[in-house]
Amino acid sequence: MNMSNMVVRIGMSMWIALLLTAVAVPAESASASAALDNLIKAYDSESAARAQCVAFAQKADEEGYAKAASLFRASARSLEVRLQHFKRVISKMGGVPKADIPKVEARSTRENLELAMKEEADRNGALYPAFVKQAKEEGAKGAAKTFNGAMRIGTGRSALYGDALKRLEGMKGDAAEYYVCPVCGYLTDSGLFKKCLVCWTPRSKFEAIR
Ligand SMILES: [Fe+2]
């Protein structure tokens, strides 16, 4: 295993773990609001996830997994929409979004899908529920809603990574079409819907990404 690659990967996972241990601690001063600090942490994490998706799409194309490349491109767009939500709420609360994106070194497409799925699980299964709880305790309704939205959309991305892993050989060949809601970032591989399942945006507004 390439050592620098391992360091980046361990670094990302450790970073999410560190966020989890920090969530219950009151903000130390970046702002008077722990919810705002957590929004900025989430913005940083999802910015890094987006950069990973862009690099993983390129790697999937190089390896001939065109459908996996489509999925990573669509995920990058989904994350971009979520980042816009974070940005708006952070600004509204008087904060400044910041992202320190680590250098991404893609490994095999299988490993990249596994890593993307694990990081979604860390965020949506542990980090965001804790952030939601804290935001509610603080009375920061906008922050709680934003974490809930990110959690719901991220869980959907994670399921698609899982499906791709189950049929990895089938992810070769032609590119696939994925659909992203430009309002909430909901991502689906099914063309059989009339409205966004999360925010009811009509299908005609969805972005088809290959
Ligand atoms: Fe939506």
For the segment(s) 3-23+31-172, the CATH number from 1.20.1260.10, 3.40.50.970, 3.30.1330.10, 1.10.260.40 is: 1.20.1260.10
C-alpha 206 – ligand 1 centre gap (Å): 8
State the pLDDT at residue 175.
97
pTM for this prediction: 0.87
User: Has residue 4 got a pLDDT over 60?
Assistant: no
C-alpha 85 – ligand 1 centre gap (Å): 12
Whether 185 contacts 209, CB under 8 Å? no
Q: Residue 17 — pLDDT band, cuts 50, 70, 90?
A: low
C-alpha 208 – ligand 1 centre gap (Å): 14
State the pLDDT at residue 200.
97
What digits encode the pLDDT tens for the residues 111-150?
999 999 999 999 999 999 999 999 999 999 999 999 999 9
What digits encode the pLDDT tens for the residues 50-100?
999 999 999 999 999 999 999 999 999 999 999 999 999 999 999 999 999
User: Has residue 26 got a pLDDT over 90?
Assistant: no
State the pLDDT at residue 10.
46
C-alpha 131 – ligand 1 centre gap (Å): 22
More confident residue, 27 or 199: 199
Alpha carbons 5 and 83: distance in angstroms, whole number: 25
User: Has residue 2 got a pLDDT over 80?
Assistant: no
Alpha carbons 75 and 79: distance in angstroms, whole number: 6
Whether 167 contacts 71, CB under 8 Å? no
User: Which residues are registered as beta bridge partners of 207?
Assistant: 180
Q: In what order do the strands lie in the sheet with 207-209?
A: 187-188, 178-180, 207-209
What digits encode the pLDDT tens for the residues 165-194?
999 999 999 999 999 999 999 999 998 899
State the pLDDT at residue 20.
56
Handedness of CA 200, 85, 206, 159 (dihedral sign): negative
C-alpha 185 – ligand 1 centre gap (Å): 6
C-alpha 202 – ligand 1 centre gap (Å): 8
Whether 128 contacts 147, CB under 8 Å? yes
Domain ranges of the chain: 3-23+31-172
C-alpha 127 – ligand 1 centre gap (Å): 22
